[in-house]
Amino acid sequence: MHAPETPRRDTYDYAVIRVVPRVEREEFVNVGILLSCPPAKFLEARIEVDEARLLALDPDIDLETVRRHLAAMEAICAGGPGSGPIGLLPQRARFHWLTAKRSSIIQTSPVHLGRCLHAGNAVEHLMDRMVRVRRA
């Protein structure tokens, strides 16, 4: 009799996507998760913007520009035609390009490591933990 096989846990890298309305103040709002799981051939930017929180930090923030830049991140993750030259790179190269240090209004946290059974579930867990605000 054989013992049941333990499900394979894949290693993934992730970063929190942040909007920094006024870079000089270093205040930010977490707006998404960027997750790369090479064994599952998974790369996704999942984004949920709480515009009221951004406006609280900077009432003059250009929300349309923020939306456009975040949509570009999603397109680069999806890759393929229409995602620009970066979107045509291999998945790992796209992840590293997206998580490169920059001083713009859209930034990412340092890259962290995790293990999961399913990358999509890991993104949801991280969104709940790092992005979504629990309301009373």
Largest CA distance in the chain: 67
pLDDT per position as a tens digit, 72-99: 999 999 998 889 999 999 999 999 999 9
This prediction has a pTM of 0.91
Domain boundaries, the chain: 10-131
Confidence grade of residue 136 (pLDDT, cut at 50, 70, 90):
low
Q: Would you state the pLDDT for residue 3? A: 62
For all residues of the chain together, what is the average pLDDT? 93
pLDDT per position as a tens digit, 26-67: 899 999 999 999 999 999 999 999 999 999 999 999 999 999
Report CA-CA distances (Å) from 48 to 17, 19, 38, 99, 131.
10, 11, 24, 18, 8
Q: Would you state the pLDDT for residue 4? A: 65
CA triple 41-47-51, angle to 5 deg: 175
C-alpha 35/C-alpha 77 separation (Å) is 9
C-alpha 113/C-alpha 11 separation (Å) is 7
> Among 81, 89, 103, 106, which Cα is nearest to 43's?
89
pLDDT higher than 90, residue 135: no
